[in-house]
Structure 1
Amino acid sequence: MKLHTIATLACAASGLALLAGPLAAQDLRQVRFGTNWVAQAEHGGFYQAVADGTYAACGLDVEIVPGGPQANNRMLLPVGRIDFYMGGNMIQAFSAIQEEIPTIVVAAMFQKDPQILMSHPGEFDTFESLRESPAILVGREGLATFYQWLIVEHGFSEANTQPYTFNPAPFLANPRAVQQGYLTSEPFAIEQEAGFTPNVFLLADYGFDTYSTTIETRRELVESDPEVVRCFVEGSILGWYNYLYGDNAAANELILADNPEMTLEKIEYSIEKLKEYGIVDSGDTLELGIGAMTDARMESFFNRMVAAGLFPADLDFRQAYMLDFVNAKVGIELRPQ
């Protein structure tokens, strides 16, 4: 079966709806896409591309395999149990090169990593003052990654940290505490539970310039079936445009079905924050389209991680990604003018 690129088949959501019908009657190439957490608005563009037939329009039948605390979809990618994986940020991709794992990043749906620090209003109200907190609540993974960058680049101290167990109670009990979080998650939980809006500091706005919510695949799939990779990437790009700026009701229904603990209120909050902070559509995407990546951004972040002690300077970080499937302005006309 010959796959067609989304860009060739359609330039607008209305066209995709018309195309999806006849193509669905053909034999579609089945692929599995594993996410790194349970279904939520942060996965919305992928669900949108399933719901509105965007993937089917170029010949793919995509099954989304949700992640979660009991799942490790990342491990399923190299062994062929899934075809694509939603990566967290480029630290994982650089680590894959270091460990000689044959995976590669082919697109970045988030231009900014949603990682945040938050504080109580009236205590530490500037980013620079956060390092003075006597109780910076950081998880083990965060301590080994972004917090090392905070130490080197912003003068934070590991001595001030306390373990974050993903329970907000210690933060709420101590008005001088600072806590790590995810832009679309922890602030919402604090507002719901404690009735106040915390100060939110997006690390991406202070130099933590990794891409996030990447699309990873196996190198052998890129070599053997580049049309499949292109279809999935371009379908995901259009999915994100339509999710953010179009009718996302059907996608949200799929998210709620895959994650019964999710609520529409939480989804709407998350979408609002994704737009407000330019998580998906900002910077290079304004010219190159959603999913954009550049060598300059990759080098900048890699150098920061080298300075933070995460990687050796001679690691061939450019092997972690390729630009062949992005930066083609696919779907850019769907952004509201």
Structure 2
Amino acid sequence: MIRHITRRTRQSGSGRAALAATALGVLVASPFGASAQEAVTFGTNWLAQAEHGGFYQAVADGTYAACGLDVTIVPGGPQVNNRALMLAGKIDFHMGGNMLQAFYAQREGIPVVVVAAMFQKEPQVILTHPGKYDSWESLAGTAPLLIGDNGFNSYYQWMISEYGFTVEQRRPYTFNPAPFLADETSGQQGYVTSEPFAIEREGGFMPDIFLIADQGFSTYSTTIETMADTISERPEAVQCFVDGSILGWVNYLYGDNSAANDLIQKDNPEMTDEQIAFSIEKMKEYGIVDSGETLTLGIGAMTDARNADFYEKMVAAGVIEGGLDITQSYTLDFVNKGVGLELKTTLTGN
């Protein structure tokens, strides 16, 4: 089994090197030996961005390598389906969106298993013009809402069943903010880490933000998925990748993330320093990565109770049928071990 080793520090002339040493010191001991690096590929679900930062951090500072993995990140994008590549055995791990994907796979008999949840909160938001709506409830049945097809078929159905939003107030969203900017009564979907930044740039104002996770949309997000065979055949590699990713996220949020951001911009040259900084700020402000259960269990945490709660809400909303054994769609074997808590204390002082 992979085992944890005590933290050690190394004297260095640069802050980046010191933080890298801290990360390596709290990581797991390699079961493969110093010279045997197991090649692993991890596919993201979109172009490189700060929302992938912890994974890039673990590559940049050698955290994955410290426990025996040579990790290659394969960025997603509009013409890339990394999940299909994982199903075909071409990549080892995939960054899932939220738990609905895993539930759907279970329904279809596809042996995809979530082994960690890097985001405790779905970053999906509804944006409105400043001061137009004073509460989440005041949006229901009134505001014209620009919602895409995927959102309409998932979280918007929950908004209808849970809060009384209506089909009639929904407007198709084409990922163009112009209709929202032109209508002060409207709302628009987005990610808390992205669209508010774009609206501020294009519209000259910061919109009001309603995070649907804070209204009860209780799914985990930015999951790490793999195939059931990978878990049974390579459990050490799975544990190393999960632990390395957790430590990567701790270092990315609370330490020196410059090397990770360099890798992000190498993979996505259009990503700006300003956008990265905004995304990190919002992930911290809204507790997207580190909040709730992670404060005691460590980043990546999941529980049976919360997955069951989300599943029940999706059944009630008609998004997915009841009667599924959702416990087959995830495992808690690789998380909830407090990995990264000591490192966070070292980096933050509390």
- TM tier, smaller: over 0.9
Aligned residues: 333
Which position in structure 2 is the counterpart of 1:14? 21
State the SS of the aligned residue for 1:265: helix
Distance in structure 2 (CA, Å) of the matches to 1:250 and 1:24: 26
How do 1:260-299 residues align onto structure 2 when only pairs under 5 Å count?
260-299=269-308
Distance in structure 2 (CA, Å) of the matches to 1:71 and 1:199: 33
Which blocks of at least 5 consecutive residues in structure 2 are unaligned? 10-19
C-alpha distance 10-150 of structure 1, shift in aligned 2 (>3 A): same
Distance in structure 1 (CA, Å) of the matches to 2:24 and 2:273: 24
- 1:312 deviates by 1.8
Say which of 94, 97, 108 aligns to 1:88.
Answer: 97
Say which of 132, 136, 156 aligns to 1:123.
Answer: 132
How do 1:175-186 residues align onto structure 2 when only pairs under 5 Å count?
175-186=184-195
Indicate if the aligned counterparts of 1:4 and 1:59 stay in contact, CA closer than 8 A: no
- 1:135 deviates by 1.9
Which position in structure 2 is the counterpart of 1:37? 46
- 1:11 deviates by 7.0
- 1:79 deviates by 1.1
Please give the per-residue CA displacement for 1:54-100, whole angstroms capped at 9, x wherever unaligned.
00000000000000111111111111111000000001110000111
How do 1:177-196 residues align onto structure 2 when only pairs under 5 Å count?
177-196=186-205
Identical columns (%): 61
Distance in structure 2 (CA, Å) of the matches to 1:212 and 1:10: 29
TM-score between the two structures when normalised by the length of structure 1: 0.95
Which position in structure 2 is the counterpart of 1:307? 316
Indicate if the aligned counterparts of 1:288 and 1:328 stay in contact, CA closer than 8 A: yes
- 1:130 deviates by 1.3
- 1:38 deviates by 0.3
Indicate if the aligned counterparts of 1:106 and 1:233 stay in contact, CA closer than 8 A: yes
- 1:133 deviates by 3.5
Which position in structure 1 is the counterpart of 2:14? none
- 1:8 deviates by 3.1
Which position in structure 1 is the counterpart of 2:166? 157
Partner AA of 2:97 in structure 1: G
C-alpha distance 170-266 of structure 1, shift in aligned 2 (>3 A): same
Q: Say if 2:82 is the partner of 1:66.
A: no
- 1:241 deviates by 0.3
Higher mean alpha-carbon deviation, 290-299 vs 7-16, is at 7-16
Indicate if the aligned counterparts of 2:37 and 2:65 stay in contact, CA closer than 8 A: yes
Indicate if the aligned counterparts of 2:23 and 2:251 stay in contact, CA closer than 8 A: no
Distance in structure 1 (CA, Å) of the matches to 2:328 and 2:167: 32
Please give the per-residue CA displacement for 1:101-134, whole angstroms capped at 9, x wherever unaligned.
1110000001001000010013223211112444
Say which of 116, 128, 140 aligns to 1:107.
Answer: 116
Distance in structure 2 (CA, Å) of the matches to 1:25 and 1:225: 18
Distance in structure 2 (CA, Å) of the matches to 1:178 and 1:214: 28
Which position in structure 2 is the counterpart of 1:46? 55
Q: Say if 2:325 is the partner of 1:316.
A: yes
Which blocks of at least 5 consecutive residues in structure 1 are unaligned? none
Indicate if the aligned counterparts of 1:293 and 1:323 stay in contact, CA closer than 8 A: yes
Distance in structure 2 (CA, Å) of the matches to 1:174 and 1:143: 20
Indicate if the aligned counterparts of 2:133 and 2:139 stay in contact, CA closer than 8 A: yes
Distance in structure 2 (CA, Å) of the matches to 1:33 and 1:68: 14
TM-score between the two structures when normalised by the length of structure 2: 0.91
Distance in structure 2 (CA, Å) of the matches to 1:71 and 1:320: 24
